[in-house]
Amino acid sequence: MCGVLGILGNYPLTMARGLLLLLAHRGQDASGLLWVVGNEATSSKSIGNPDRIFVPEIASSQILGSTRYPTTGKRVASEEDLDTFVGPFNVGDLSLTHNGNITNMHSISNLKFDCDTEFIAVKLTQNLTENNGNLPSAFSALQSEVDGAFSLVGVYRGKLFAYRDSHGFKPLVFGRSKQKTIVASESTVLDMAGVPLERDVYPGELLIFGDGGTMESYSISQSLTHSHCFFEYVYFAHPAATLENQLVYDVRFRLGRVLAQTFLKMNLERPDYVVPVPDTSRPAAQAMAETLSVPMREIILKNRYLGRTFIVRSQEERDAMARSKYLYLDDKIRGKIILVVDDSIVRGTTAKMIVADLKKRGAAKVYFAVTCPPQTHPCYYGIDISTDTELIASTTEIEAIAEYIEADALIYQEEHTLSNAIGLKDLCLACLNGEYPTEHARRIREELQEQGASSIERDYERDFSK
């Protein structure tokens, strides 16, 4: 998962960096800005959040930005890695950056690429050469070859372009004012820039923007159904973002409301407090509290300056970080029945630790509610849950997960209540039900099942061409 940004129209680079900060939650591994002056593209990249990117005090009329979440290639560990793994990338007249994950990069290319964004940039440049610089033709060729998720934004010969793969896995929105056009992963960027949100880029649509707010739209590829990633609504996107005409906050609130109904059906003892695990599950916890008429209390507080626990690779490191991630209001816990709400259980590290922490502080009972249904299958489209071994629900029944995390009850969202709460039919639910919307992803799955193996290595980074 990553964040992407594109700006056409004179804009100060320091302000562009400010806009990119609104996509920091989509990837805190590294970030980059690229700007064009004359015909020259210059980029500046940094490990961590965009506020660390150095930019000169100038304006540019073509700017790209990206925040990176490492689902292809390794984590960025040094300055040298920035050039290799972090977009935006420039190849000849073309610069671009993308959000998503290409699943067949290792099967269709003999060249070894470290990063799928660079792979797309090189492929697209080849296609442009073969098609006299015609972007729609180059994209038609790209879409027919490449499998996976890609929402991308780029600049080519003075124009800004945006493309969303035919399934529309990842979000991409745009807006125009008289002076500028902005394309971004989330609408909050447009709000901050004072540009009205026009709409989502349609799946399979290529948009080419020129000076003065001109726009050409090309339908490159249609898919009978779309496959929007449901996890954007559950976890990734900012609650203030509007995706496919829905405010993410409202979806999370509805997820909590239906989860409260599931809780009621379980006939458990009434909790004293509903407690969100900050920050994502707060709207859902509020909705559960309202529906159950139980007060919500923020008894678990986040140690804000710790950084990410999820992306850390070793379990020891993750455990150590998880232990220092939360602070607790001890005197509100003793003797209480607490209903904790989190957005998801992946490996179970967070849930197990929170239950233990609450019990250690004297909680009488801890119920654990999860706004996401059990994630039983790896994601090949850009969420870093790419092998079965990372997913406790892939091998463990719900009762056994409850036992493992030592909760007095475990309340999971169901698939149909999730879809209803999101209010879209066209969702990718592959990590819940194993129904992968693209061919190569299905092939990866089949071959792995035949081999009977899943390992620490990411499934889609193996070579399935042989």
State residue 214 phi and psi, 5-degree precision.
Answer: -70, 150
**Between 12 and 239, CB nearer to ligand 5GP:** 239
Query: Which candidate in 2, 372, 379, 428 is catalytic?
Result: 2
Residue 278's CB is within 10 A of a number of other CB atoms, namely 17
Minimum Å gap between C-beta 350 and ligand 5GP is 3
**Between 201 and 370, CB nearer to ligand 5GP:** 370
> Binding marks (x or -) toward ligand 5GP, 212..251, rule CB under 6 A?
-----------------------x----------------
**Between 90 and 350, CB nearer to ligand 5GP:** 350
Task: Decide if 197 contacts 231 (C-beta within 8 A).
Answer: no
Stretch that binds ligand 5GP, among 39-47, 182-190, 212-220, 304-312 (CB under 6 A): 304-312
**Between 389 and 420, CB nearer to ligand 5GP:** 389
> Binding marks (x or -) toward ligand 5GP, 340..369, rule CB under 6 A?
--xxxxxxxxxx------------------
75 binds ligand 5GP (CB under 6 A): no
What torsion do the CA atoms of 218, 220, 225, 226 make, to the nearest 10 degrees?
Answer: -70
**Between 389 and 449, CB nearer to ligand 5GP:** 389
CA geometry: angle 404, 400, 360, nearest 5 deg: 25
310 binds ligand 5GP (CB under 6 A): yes
Minimum Å gap between C-beta 27 and ligand 5GP is 9
Binding residues for ligand 5GP restricted to 381-420, rule: CB under 6 A: 383-384
Residue 216's CB is within 10 A of a number of other CB atoms, namely 13
- Give the rounded distance of the alpha carbon of 29 from its chain centre: 13
16 binds ligand 5GP (CB under 6 A): no
284 binds ligand 5GP (CB under 6 A): no
Give DSSP secondary structure letters for 201-233: PPTTEEEEE-GGG-EEEEE----SS--EETHII
Task: Decide if 143 contacts 220 (C-beta within 8 A).
Answer: yes
121 binds ligand 5GP (CB under 6 A): no
Residue 145's CB is within 10 A of a number of other CB atoms, namely 13
Closest Cα to residue 308, out of 68, 64, 51? 68
CA distances from 254 to 179, 245, 429 (A): 38, 15, 18
Q: Give how many residues touch ligand 5GP by CB under 6 A.
A: 18
Minimum Å gap between C-beta 405 and ligand 5GP is 9
Cα-only R_g, the chain: 22
Active site residue 431: no
The sign of the torsion formed by the CA atoms of 106, 108, 110, 114 equals negative
Quote the CA–CA distance of 431 and 344 in Å, as a whole number: 12
């610089």: which residue's tokens? 133
313 binds ligand 5GP (CB under 6 A): no
**Between 155 and 370, CB nearer to ligand 5GP:** 370
Binding site for ligand 5GP (CB under 6 A): 235, 277, 280, 308, 310-311, 342-351, 383-384
Q: Which residues are designated catalytic?
A: 2
